[in-house]
Amino acid sequence: MPDVTNETSEDFGDEEQEELQEKEAFESLAPKVLDAAKAAKLDADDVTDPDFGSRYLIISLPCGRNKRSILLNDSADLSNFLSVELEGLSFLDGLEALCDYKAGTVEVGLEPVGNLSSSSLARHFFPSSQPDQDNPPELILKSDDGQHTFRIGFASQKYRVFATRPTYRRLTMTMSIEGLQGHDKIISHLKTLSNSLFFQIDLLFNQPIALSRSRDVVTIGRRAFRRRPVILSQVEYPKHEYDEAPSSLYWYGRAASAMPLLQFLAFYQVVEYFYPVYSKVEVNRRLKLVLNDPSFRPERDSDIGRLVNALSINRSGGFLDERSQLKAVMNECLTSDAIRQFIESSDEKKTFYKKDCKKIHDINIVTDAVGQDLRIVAAERLYGIRCRVVHTKEDGKDELGILLPYSKEEQSLAHDIDLMQFIARAVLVASGTKMH
């Protein structure tokens, strides 16, 4: 019988050696990357995760009137970054597109519309070809006057360095931008021509495709880094069970990472599922406040009115309006301090909710405000965002308007999704029952 123990220990030894080599390579290349970024006048941050010690670099490029960051988290990323000429590079706002003003081109990712994967799309266009083969196939289209050129093919090395999605067997479209002045004009021209080209392809081959939209790769990357190490000895036989309906909504939200609006709504609906349960607790509390008042007289119409107002029957015939029901669930299932600790778990979250969150909703969550119940503040904010997602007017008003897919606002929703997920987890835990 083979000695499995020795084989396992040897495997762990190899893994430790590989990790050590990777760490040494990263530490060797990181200063060179930071120097290269500085020489190109790009913002660069050297970050170490305080919880798990993971180290990565964040490089920011111009992106219209703003900046967009990429995350370099291993030595291969650093090496690839050093292989690229940085002068004249910029992102296009809202798109997974790299503009090279020095070369006079813009390269943007292509993605299928529907269930087809990006690699399957590449196989549809170029069967039996590989992106790393010599002279990979490509489609080149020129305008009648020869002034403008389209290229559809596999992603260039330069694009791969700055892309936020995996690029192996990924198709991109490259367009000349000579004669086009300004970020917004380039985007307008790109969208006009690509819309016409993609409609033609759809009519010819019944294959819908679209330009790839940008993602907040730094937030996504940090969330991935914060996955906790798997320690199997901590796993125990289940002691609690959770209702199937809200659990399925929770897992749906966990699977919808590529669809921020849908993900937020799924976590919100986990909490919404428990409205009838915890609303009754709140109604009982309100009724007791009125009935226990020594001045209450049932024969007085004004006192009966106090009872009716305490019930706050909503349009669907239930007790309390939706905002009050959300507050009732949160008040019963978690503490104000729990929300404070969650937001203060990272400087990024704390800064967002103190200063940068008003692009989504005008209510911010200041954790150092004295005497403030953060459950109430968070409920107000999350309810307002929910109204924007489903386009329901909040208090009869529609000041902020609907939250649209692929919009800049949607790209800023990551922290609110995290907060909504945190609350959904707390509600599930509080509502669990002993395993039968």
How does pLDDT run across 132-155, given as a tens digit for each residue? 667 778 888 888 887 778 888 999
Q: What is the mean pLDDT of residues 310-324?
A: 63
| Predicted pLDDT of residue 256 | 86
Q: What is the mean pLDDT of the chain?
A: 82
Looking at residue 225, its pLDDT comes to 47
As a whole-number percent, the residues of the chain with pLDDT over 70 amount to 80
The residue ranking higher by pLDDT, 319 or 2, is: 319
pLDDT (average), residues 214-230? 56
Q: What is the C-alpha separation between 216 and 218, in angstroms, rounded?
A: 6
Is residue 412 over pLDDT 50?
yes
Residue 28 is predicted with a pLDDT of: 92
**Does residue 398 register a pLDDT over 70?**
no
pLDDT in tens, 261-270: 999 999 999 9
- The winner for highest mean pLDDT among 87-101, 135-149, 300-314 is 87-101
pLDDT at 305 over 80: no
According to the model, what pLDDT value does residue 286 have? Answer: 66
pLDDT digits (tens, 9 = 90+) for 231-274: 767 777 788 888 889 999 999 998 887 789 999 999 999 999 99
pLDDT band (50, 70, 90) for residue 10: low
pLDDT at 399: 58
Q: How large is the average pLDDT for residues 194-215? A: 84
| Distances 159 to 98, 133, 195 between C-alpha atoms, Å | 7, 17, 22
Each residue's pLDDT tens digit, 18-55: 888 988 999 999 999 999 999 999 999 988 876 666 78
Q: What is the pLDDT of residues 166-192, one digit of tens each?
A: 666 789 999 988 777 788 889 888 888
- pLDDT for residue 293: 72
Give residue 405's pLDDT.
82
